[in-house]
Amino acid sequence: MALPVIDKARYKKRLNWLQGSAVVLLMLSALLFSNLLVSHYGSDGSNLWLNATAVLLSVLLLSLIFAVLKHQPWMADIRYIMQLKQRLNRIYRASKTVDAAVANDQKNGLIVRYFSLHASKYLYQLEDNTLTLEELQQQIDDLDEQIARLQLTIGLDDYSDDILQQVLAGGCDSVTKHVE
């Protein structure tokens, strides 16, 4: 699974616009719904539940708008990054199993870890998250050394969600059996 080249400035501009618009829309629609509900159903006492209902209606409205917008061409980069983050989250949740597979020199585990590290570096650079970039690069270098020691060739295109499922199911053989 190759990582596409994304124009960082354009991505950030669109993401900031989307997030800002969401906050403004949520705030304005919650106020509008709240005023409408309180004016029609409100009492002199507390209108907490009407206000809570207004916020819920605003969230539903925002969800509907995002469901419509997510398929727009200008959302492609944002949608791809969201999907990549979901993939990395699945890998992170399986990290104990993946770490064990890497420790046992299992090729599929190495493929998953390779993808995870390189995709994380890609995201960190895209989002200017440079705090842990040096540590991440060290992990990539260590993994590259392990892959070279095992005489394997692993790339980003080798990864698929099926490979992760195989690692979780324990369906990968150790490479050390085949390498002298």
- pLDDT, tens digit, 9 for 90 and up, residues 43-64: 888 899 999 999 999 999 999 9
Q: What is the rounded radius of gyration, in angstroms, for the C-alpha atoms of the chain?
A: 23
- pLDDT, tens digit, 9 for 90 and up, residues 63-112: 999 999 999 999 999 999 999 999 999 999 999 999 999 999 999 999 99
Q: List C-alpha distances in Å: 94 to 32, 52, 97, 132.
A: 44, 37, 6, 21
**How long a stretch of residues is the chain?**
180
The pTM assigned to this predicted structure is: 0.83
Q: Which of 7-16, 27-36, 43-52, 159-168 is predicted with the least confidence, judged by mean pLDDT? A: 43-52
Tokens, residue 53: 């209902």
137: Cβ contacts below 8 Å, ≥ 6 apart: 121
Residue with tokens 């992760």, as numbered in its chain: 164
Q: How far apart are CA 143 and CA 47, in angstroms?
A: 58
